[in-house]
C-alpha cells in the first residue's frame, strides 16, 4: 500500500535502506492550508519506515526550516540520502530563504548517525548555481532560480568522487526549453565544485525535476519529472496536458544525454517518481498529483519495474 495521511498532503519523496528498514523521506504539509498550492511554501520533511516498501509506519519528522538568516529559512525541499564510508548518513536537500524572497534555490546538507535525528551542517548553502553555465534569477525569463532536488551518488568505477545531479536551467538558448542536468562534484561531501551541465538545452523541457540515476537490472537509467506547462510545443502536442515522470536509458558515464528520447512512465501516472531496489527487485514509487483536476497528495503503491535499453523504465 502507498502512504496516505488524512490530515496532510504528501508529494516528493526519497529513500534510504539501512539493511533492515527502508526509510521514506517526503515533503508534507497540512491540509488545513486549504489551497494545495500553498503547500510549496509550508513544507516539512517527513519520515516513514517500512520492511517491504508497502506497509509504512510514520515516525518523527526529519527536517524543518531554519531560523533566519539561513539559506533554508523559508522552505526545506526535495533531496536525497546517502551513507558515507564512515557510516554517517548525509541528507542533501533544497533550501529557499526569506531573506531573498524565496526565489533562489540552493543546496545544503544535514547529517545523522541513525536516520532518525538530523543535524544541519550550516545556515549557508553548500552548492548554488554558477552563472558561468546556469541561469540566475531573472523573472523576465523564468519565475525562479532553479538549483534544487540534489541526487548524490558515486560511479561504481570511481569510489573517490561524489556526483550531484541538480534541477537547473542553462544560461542560453530558448527560455522555454532551457532545462538541463545540473552537475557538481566533491571528494568529501562537504566541499563541492560546480561543473558544466551534463546535457544541452533545447531538448523539449523547460525544467527537469527530481533526477535519479540508477543501474536497473543492467541498464543505466535516468529518471526525472516535468509538468506539462514546462514542455515544449512539440512535446505537449505529443503527450498532452499531463504531468509525468520520465525515464531515459543512458550511458553508464552519463555522457551524450539526449532527452528527446525520454519517455513518460504511465503506469501509474505518478509525479516525482523514485525507483528503489526492494527485497524482490526494483520498484517505482511517486505521488498521485491530480485526479479530475483535484490535487490528491499521497504516495502510490510500489510498482515492480525493470529497464529496457531503448524504452527506459518499464513494468516488470
Instruction: State residue 100's pLDDT score.
Output: 94
Tens of pLDDT, residue by residue over 185-205, are: 999 999 999 999 999 999 999
Give the bridge partners for 108, in sequence order: 93
| 135, pLDDT greater than 90 | yes
Tens of pLDDT, residue by residue over 266-307, are: 999 999 999 999 999 999 999 999 898 899 999 999 999 999
Mean pLDDT of 31-50: 98
pTM, to two decimals: 0.97
pLDDT band at 155 (very low <50, low <70, confident <90, very high): very high
Mean pLDDT of 245-271: 97
Instruction: State residue 58's pLDDT score.
Output: 98
Domains of the chain: 62-284+300-315 (2.115.10.20)
Mean pLDDT of 13-27: 98
Instruction: State residue 234's pLDDT score.
Output: 95
Instruction: State residue 1's pLDDT score.
Output: 73
Mean pLDDT of 51-63: 97
Grid coordinates given for 138: 531573472
- Count CA atoms within 13 Å of residue 231 on its CB side: 23
Residues sharing a CB contact under 8 Å with residue 273, sequence separation 6 or more, in sequence order: 210, 223, 225, 245, 265, 284, 285, 286
Find the farthest-apart pair of alpha carbons in the chain and give their distance in angstroms, rounded.
49
Q: Mean of the per-residue pLDDT values for the chain?
A: 97
pLDDT band at 33 (very low <50, low <70, confident <90, very high): very high
CA–CA gap between residue 107 and residue 105 (Å, rounded): 7
Report percent pLDDT > 90 for the chain.
98
Tens of pLDDT, residue by residue over 213-247, are: 999 999 999 999 999 999 999 999 999 999 999 99
Amino acid at each position: 500500500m502507498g502512504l496516505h495521511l488524512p490530515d496532510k498532503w504528501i508529494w516528493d519523496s526519497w529513500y534510504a535502506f539501512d539493511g533492515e528498514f527502508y526509510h521514506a523521506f517526503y515533503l508534507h504539509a497540512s491540509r488545513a492550508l486549504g489551497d494545495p498550492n500553498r503547500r510549496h511554501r509550508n513544507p516539512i520533511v517527513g519520515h516513514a519506515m517500512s520492511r517491504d516498501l508497502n506497509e509504512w509506519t510514520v515516525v518523527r519528522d526529519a527536517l524543518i526550516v531554519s531560523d533566519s538568516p539561513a539559506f533554508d529559512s523559508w522552505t526545506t525541499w526535495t533531496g536525497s540520502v546517502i551513507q558515507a564510508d564512515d557510516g554517517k548518513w548525509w541528507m542533501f536537500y533544497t533550501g529557499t530563504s526569506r531573506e531573498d524572497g524565496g526565489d533562489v534555490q540552493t543546496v545544503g546538507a544535514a547529517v545523522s548517525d541513525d536516520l532518525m535525528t538530523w543535524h544541519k551542517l550550516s545556515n549557508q548553502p553548500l552548492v548554488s548555481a554558477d552563472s558561468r553555465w546556469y541561469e540566475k534569477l531573472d523573472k523576465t525569463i523564468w519565475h525562479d532560480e532553479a538549483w534544487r532536488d540534489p541526487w548524490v551518488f558515486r560511479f561504481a568505477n570511481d569510489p573517490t568522487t561524489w556526483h550531484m545531479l541538480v534541477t537547473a536551467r542553462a544560461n542560453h538558448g530558448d527560455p522555454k526549453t532551457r532545462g538541463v542536468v545540473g552537475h557538481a562534484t566533491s571528494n568529501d561531501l562537504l566541499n563541492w565544485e560546480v561543473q558544466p551541465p551534463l546535457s544541452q538545452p533545447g531538448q523539449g523541457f523547460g525544467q527537469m525535476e527530481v533526477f535519479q540515476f540508477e543501474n536497473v537490472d543492467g541498464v543505466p537509467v535516468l529518471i526525472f519529472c516535468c509538468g506539462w506547462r514546462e514542455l515544449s510545443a512539440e512535446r505537449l502536442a505529443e503527450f498532452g496536458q499531463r504531468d509525468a515522470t520520465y525515464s531515459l536509458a543512458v550511458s553508464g558515464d552519463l555522457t551524450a544525454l539526449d532527452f528527446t528520447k525520454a519517455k513518460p512512465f504511465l503506469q501509474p501516472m505518478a509525479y516525482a517518481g523514485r525507483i528503489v531496489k526492494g527485497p524482490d527487485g526494483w520498484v517505482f514509487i511517486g505521488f498521485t498529483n491530480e485526479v479530475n483536476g483535484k490535487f490528491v497528495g499521497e504516495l502510490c503503491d510500489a510498482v515492480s519495474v525493470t529497464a529496457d535499453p531503448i524504452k527506459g523504465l518499464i513494468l516488470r
